[in-house]
Amino acid sequence: MNYEQRYFLYLVKSYLNGEKISEPNSDIDWHSVYLYACEQSLYNLFYSALVKITNKPNEQIMAKLKSKYKRSLMKYTNNNFEAKQTVELIASNGIKVMPLKGYFIKEYYMQPEFRYVSDLDIITDDLNKTTDLLLENGYEIVKDDIHHTALIKNGFVTEVHKSLFVGKLKKYFLNPFENAFELSNNIYRMEDNYFYAYVIAHFAYHFSASGAGIRSIIDVYYLNKNLNISDKSLISDCSLSQFEQEILSFALNLFEGREYDDTIAEILYLSHTSGLYENRAAIDSSRHGKSRLIKKVFPSMDYLSTAYPIERKSQLPYFWAKRLIDASRRDNDNTYDVIVDENRVKKFNDVISKLGLEDF
């Protein structure tokens, strides 16, 4: 990692811990640090920490950063309002609704606006009734696939999940409402152990596909700090114990001022917030080596089930063909581009092995 990457992590952990922030080197490249903050969806946190130090960008640049910060806060406020309105609308119409991930995680941050939430993820006990209700109230469908139905209103997207996961993780998270409690009329929240296992599994799901960023590390840190986690058997059932242990160790080392794993940190930066397409080819190559082209064109049933309603292995030939046809219809599709950055492949290979995700 370079100096700017290290300082950004230091800035984040110091501010969140309420510690005095040491001044950076006089020649620090603030533009790079700013880009890292934006790529990791941590701009609000970055700006709040930045104003606390002396050696910061000049007044003209700070004025622009402040303007962006105000716009970002306004967007957060609007998104938060839309999310709560949507949840309350569904619940008030007799539908059990459970917000997922960031809706609750943000409340554990020093300030909730530091944990930017770009959309609302929910699961309900009646998908069709929920979709019809939202359509009747001015929402429009923008996507409908095997995983969720996405609707938009006032520029804010709500994803109504059909299941918590698709693929190999689906069978472990089939009954979210049986592992939840009612916060208020028809609004539910997962029990702590189940919630933590879900967040870890979601982190691993993203990481194994295209990477995941620093915000996910902060989430894990805050969940461990605030939840009553007494049972990790579900994480073990998902074969994610090694992943959870390594990620938690990284988070604790970072926030407690100990030496953390540089290789993991570098991958977090390469992944931005929720992964990049460039990482997909590197991850695929690190797992399958020379056979990666075959794996891309003829993926497994678990992989296909993330996009298509495949139920039996006998359906594989049909969905392989359908996938190729669908890809050919997308002008900008690069699903089968097998040109990869070998340096990136090596980095992901090392970290995937360290995290126990080789067969995930």
pLDDT greater than 80 at residue 35: yes
pTM of the entire predicted model: 0.87
Give the neighbor-by-neighbor strand order of the sheet with 140-144. Answer: 140-144, 148-153, 156-161, 119-124, 97-99, 187-190, 180-184
> Across-strand partners of 124?
97
Q: What's the mean pLDDT when you consider all of the chain?
A: 89
Q: Which residue has the higher pLDDT, 336 or 313?
A: 313
The closest of 36, 48, 135, 45 to 90, measured between CA atoms, is: 135
Q: What radius of gyration, in Å, describes the C-alpha atoms of the chain? A: 21
Task: For 48-80, write each residue's pLDDT tens digit.
Answer: 999 999 999 999 999 999 999 999 999 999 999
pLDDT greater than 50 at residue 231: yes
Residues near 180 by beta carbon (within 8 Å), at least 6 away in sequence? 98, 188, 189, 190, 191, 194
pLDDT for 192 equals: 98
Task: For 174-224, write each residue's pLDDT tens digit.
Answer: 999 999 999 999 999 999 999 999 999 999 999 988 889 999 999 999 999
